[in-house]
């Protein structure tokens, strides 16, 4: 097996440093079988470096290419919102990939460690191209697949998620945005470039394609747009509002890629043990401080606190799957204030974020919780009860920042509208059933 840090040496249209050879097949070349792109993190047709690389490698060897997707059932507690969001996108993605490129799209369910090696064996693949993810579940899965596939199969990992590939941007865990920003900005001229045209495959797949996916059964015009495309478009219009464009690019590039850096280089990215020493110490020093309120996970999930602003933020997340970034900071910090200790606070925050937020089970979600509760990528502040030196936020501070009453009213209206739609749907459903019930 090749070194896990070895770069791809084959000719490619993809930028240097974006591809790693994580397993070198014994035949030392692609060409004795098709190329399979195992898609999981970067679910898109356009602006996808991994798909570009897979098609390019297939065309160089004049072999066919296929896309395989494995549906992780209830991955880390994913609920109907996240799964429905993903499946609606995949349904359209399948038709676009097959109609636009004539590349077959295979959907598998179960454990990827079993389905992907089996598919590679059945189709006689010579190259597997995979997405990059910093999360331990995917990295463990990827390592297991490397062990299970035939020694003749080469495996390439492509970082199609980050504008500057994670290992190129930094070789270590960065302390904050300040320490990573300069490194990324120095590399942007090389990596923030337009994508090469996605080529048509030279050789068509001859096996029967996976046309029989019952999407309507799996889900009772969602596509992820690549960050690189968003950055390119923002840069084009920067002259219209430089300050706004720069703020947008800071969040899109530096902060987003800082989250990947943290989860990749810090194994304890979802634990108090992943915090810096100063933060762990100050949280431990104040873990037993008296709390005005103690709420259970169930009370917090149902927005049953004495704080109407916090309740509104929790309800917005439950109803919409997201909340404003400022509100998520307040939301998580109040959980620290209202639970028995930082470990419980972090566990509840991650549980609720994973269950309701669209960015649940994602580096940005983990880092959002870790920043708020454990001071990740932040600094020590004035010491106070419960929080210690962790940055403090309160209701009065929110009132100075924005119209708190207006926000609460806005969320109440959203919740009311959703309840009304649900009631109307139930009435409609019951009405449709009446004739059958009456005359049965």
Closest among 365, 368, 358, 306 to 333, alpha carbons compared: 368
Q: What is the pLDDT of residue 339?
A: 97
> How much is the pLDDT for 215?
60
Residue 120 has pLDDT above 50, yes or no: yes
Residue corresponding to tokens 């009446």: 434
> How does the average pLDDT of the chain come out, rounded?
87
Sign of CA dihedral 274, 278, 280, 283: negative
Indicate the domain borders of the chain.
1-161, 162-198+226-265, 270-440
369 within 8 A of 350, measured Cβ to Cβ? yes
* pLDDT tens profile 349-376: 999 999 888 888 899 999 999 999 999 9
Residue 230 burial (CB < 10 Å; 0-12/13-18/19+)?
middle
Q: How do residues 44-73 score in pLDDT, each as one tens digit?
A: 899 999 999 999 999 999 999 999 999 875
Dihedral of the alpha carbons of 395, 397, 401, 402, in degrees to the nearest 10:
20
pLDDT at 363: 94
What pLDDT was estimated at residue 28? Answer: 52
| Residue 105 reports pLDDT greater than 50 | yes
- Is residue 77 scored above 60 in pLDDT? no
pLDDT at 242 over 70: yes
Supply the pLDDT for residue 423.
79
Residue 229 backbone phi and psi in degrees, to 5: -65, -45
Please compute the mean of the pLDDT values over residues 190-205 and round it to a whole number.
91
Percent of the chain having pLDDT more than 90? 64
Q: How many whole angstroms separate alpha carbon 368 and alpha carbon 363?
A: 8
Q: Across the chain, which distance is largest between two alpha carbons, in Å? A: 74
- Specify the fold of 270-440: DNA Cyclobutane Dipyrimidine Photolyase, subunit A; domain 3 (1.10.579)
CATH architecture assignment, domain 162-198+226-265: Alpha Horseshoe (1.25)
Q: Is the pLDDT of residue 36 over 70?
A: yes
- pLDDT-based confidence at 320, cuts 50/70/90? confident
User: Do 315 and 356 form a contact (C-beta atoms < 8 A)?
Assistant: no
* Assigned CATH for 1-161: 3.40.50.620
User: Which position has the higher pLDDT, 428 or 152?
Assistant: 152
* 375 vs 99: which has the higher pLDDT: 375
Q: Where do we find the tokens 């194994």? A: 267
């Amino acid at each position: 097996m090749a070194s896990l840090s070895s770069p791809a040496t084959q000719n490619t249209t993809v930028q240097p440093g974006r591809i790693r050879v994580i397993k070198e097949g014994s035949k030392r070349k692609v060409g004795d079988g098709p190329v399979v792109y195992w898609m999981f993190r970067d679910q898109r047709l356009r602006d996808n470096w991994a798909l570009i690389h897979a098609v390019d490698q297939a065309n160089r060897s004049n072999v066919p290419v296929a896309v395989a997707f494995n549906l992780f059932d209830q991955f880390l507690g994913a609920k109907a919102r996240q799964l429905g969001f993903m499946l609606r996108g995949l349904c359209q993605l399948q038709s676009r990939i097959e109609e636009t490129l004539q590349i077959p799209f295979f959907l598998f369910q179960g454990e990827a460690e079993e389905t992907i090696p089996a598919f590679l064996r059945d189709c006689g693949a010579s190259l597997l191209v995979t997405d990059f993810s910093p999360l331990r579940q995917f990295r463990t899965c990827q390592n297991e697949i490397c062990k299970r596939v035939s020694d003749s199969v080469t495996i390439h990992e492509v970082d199609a998620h980050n504008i500057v590939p994670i290992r190129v941007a930094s070789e270590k865990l960065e302390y904050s945005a300040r320490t990573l920003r300069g490194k990324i900005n120095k590399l942007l001229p090389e990596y923030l470039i337009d994508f090469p045209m996605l080529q048509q495959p030279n050789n068509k797949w001859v096996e029967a394609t996976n046309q029989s996916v019952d999407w309507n059964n799996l889900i009772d015009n969602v596509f992820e747009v690549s960050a690189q495309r968003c950055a390119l478009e923002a840069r084009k219009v920067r002259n219209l509002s430089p300050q706004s464009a720069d703020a947008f690019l800071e969040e899109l590039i530096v902060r987003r890629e800082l989250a990947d850096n943290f989860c990749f280089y810090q194994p304890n990215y979802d634990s108090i043990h992943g915090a810096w020493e100063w933060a762990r110490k100050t949280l431990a020093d104040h873990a037993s401080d008296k709390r005005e309120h103690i709420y259970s996970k169930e009370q917090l999930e149902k927005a049953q606190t004495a704080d109407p602003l916090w309740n509104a933020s929790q309800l917005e997340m439950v109803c919409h799957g997201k909340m404003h970034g400022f509100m998520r900071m307040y939301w998580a910090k109040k959980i620290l204030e209202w639970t028995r200790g930082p470990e419980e606070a972090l566990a509840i925050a991650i549980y609720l974020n994973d269950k309701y937020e669209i960015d649940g089970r994602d580096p940005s979600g983990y880092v959002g919780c870790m920043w708020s509760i454990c001071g990740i990528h932040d600094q020590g502040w004035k010491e106070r009860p419960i929080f210690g030196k962790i940055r403090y936020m309160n209701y009065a501070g929110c009132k100075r920042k924005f119209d708190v009453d207006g926000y609460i009213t806005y969320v109440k209206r959203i919740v009311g509208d959703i309840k009304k739609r649900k009631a109307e749907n139930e009435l409609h459903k019951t009405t449709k059933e009446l004739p059958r019930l009456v005359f049965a």
